Amino acid sequence: MLNVNQQDQLKTAPSELKGKDFLTLADFNQNDILFLLEQALEMKKLQKKGIPHPYLSGKVLGMIFEKSSTRTRVSFEVGMIQLGGQAIFLSSKDIQLGRGETVSDTAKVLSRYVDGIMIRTFGHETVEEFAENADIPIINGLTDLHHPTQVLADLLTIYEHKGTLSGLKMCYIGDGNNNMCHSLLEGAASVGMHLSIASPAGYEPNLQIFENAKRIGQSTGSQITYSASPEKAVKEADIIVTDVWTSMGQEAENEERMKVFAPYQVNKELCANAKDDFLFLHCLPAHRGEEVTAEIIDGPHSVVFDEAENRLHAQKAILKNLMES
């Protein structure tokens, strides 16, 4: 059981988080995100000490997977168990959504059975439609446009290793028009981090998301920049982030992407432009020898396995604060 000090540390969520959907990081302000990170750290300490923290006893999370996953499925399922609840895995083959039932009907039905839904899918409009029609919290486990749960874990990892977020420079190198880059834009801007993006022409971030992140950054002191030059973007970076060059659903483009992104590989020569104590992050799975060399991802600057572990703790903070009675 928790003692009084631990109970004080895990304060009740701000009322505006209870029952809220978790679709993009742009929906949460700096205080919300920092609150979630602090709670994630406290629950991580409890888990490491073997202290039960069953905040979601009796609660059930429905997990819909139209895209396969290792880290998302395991971290959400284990997270619910550690919080005293349960999780139900639902692939598109298991539910009527994959046989033509509308998203709105599925959302309304599942709202009668479970206490929250996590969805990992293709089109972002799917999670938006779920949220519009459900009366329980909807969590975006990944869409082609956003990956907010991963980036919350990234922020948690940086916060653990650097002790702060505000004012740090993060550099993202690779495909700017992907879900990781978009959520990094929103996450960095919301917490006052600077973000420099380097990607080839034609692979720039979604303009609306980019401009919105710059707008958010005006209130937090965040500076958001884009360059086609990876050397320029990575200069004096505290954190370097990359992702696979070919995401799920883009396999037909793989050969062309290998050529276009070759100058954007994260390697020893490129990282020499960053600060001496830079951190390297990758959401995994990684393709060693493509977007990153083995000496970087397996080297002393890499925190990718801390980052992977922190999916569990960050998501527990999301689950607790959205679903707790």
| 243 in catalytic set | yes
The CA–CA distances, whole Å, from 304 to 137, 281, 284, 297 equal 29, 5, 8, 7
What is the rounded distance in angstroms from the CA atom of residue 283 to the CA atom of residue 244?
9
Full DSSP string of 160-208 = HHHS--TT-EEEEES-SSSHHHHHHHHHHHHHT-EEEEE--TT-PPPHH
Say whether 90 sits in a helix, a strand or coil.
strand
Report CA 87 to chain centroid distance, whole Å. Answer: 20
311 is in an annotated binding site: yes
What tokens appear for 93 in the block? 């083959």
Residue 120 annotated as binding site = yes
Is residue 47 a known part of a binding site? no
Selected catalytic residue, list 53, 124, 146, 311: 311
Residue 104 annotated as binding?
Answer: no
283 is in an annotated binding site: yes
Answer for the pair 238, 170: CB distance below 8 angstroms, yes or no.
Answer: yes
* CA atoms of 89 and 94, how far apart (whole Å): 9
Instruction: Identify whether 283 is a catalytic site residue.
Output: yes
d(CA 156, CA 310): 7
72 is in an annotated binding site: yes
Give catalytic status of residue 154 as yes or no.
no
For residue 284, say whether it is annotated as part of any ligand binding site. Answer: yes
Pick the catalytic residue from 53, 115, 120, 313: 120
Query: Could you give the C-alpha distances from 16 to 19, 27, 55, 189, 254, in angstroms and in order?
Result: 8, 11, 18, 20, 43
Catalytic annotation on 311?
Answer: yes
| Annotated active-site residue in 175, 283, 313, 315 | 283
The Cα 60–Cα 81 span in angstroms is 10
Selecting among 53, 124, 146, 147, the annotated active-site residue is 147
Residue 275 tokens, joined: 């600060």
148 annotated ligand binder = yes
Q: Is residue 257 annotated as a catalytic residue, yes or no? A: no
The SS3 of residue 44 is helix
Q: For residue 118, which of 32, 40, 247, 21 has the smallest C-alpha distance?
A: 21
> Taking Cα atoms as reference points, which of 93, 96, 104, 137 lies closest to residue 118?
137
- Active-site choice (82, 150, 265, 315): 150
9 is catalytic: no
Residue 310, annotated as binding a ligand? no
CA atoms within 13 A on the CB side of 198: 24
Q: Is 248 annotated as a binding residue?
A: yes
70 is in an annotated binding site: yes
User: Of these residues, 39, 175, 243, 313, which one is catalytic?
Assistant: 243
For the annotated binding site for carbamoyl phosphate, the residues are 69-72, 96, 120, 147-150, 283-284, 311
Kindly list the catalytic residues.
120, 147, 150, 243, 283, 311
For the annotated binding site, the residues are 69-72, 96, 120, 147-150, 179, 243, 247-248, 283-284, 311
For the annotated binding site for L-ornithine, the residues are 179, 243, 247-248
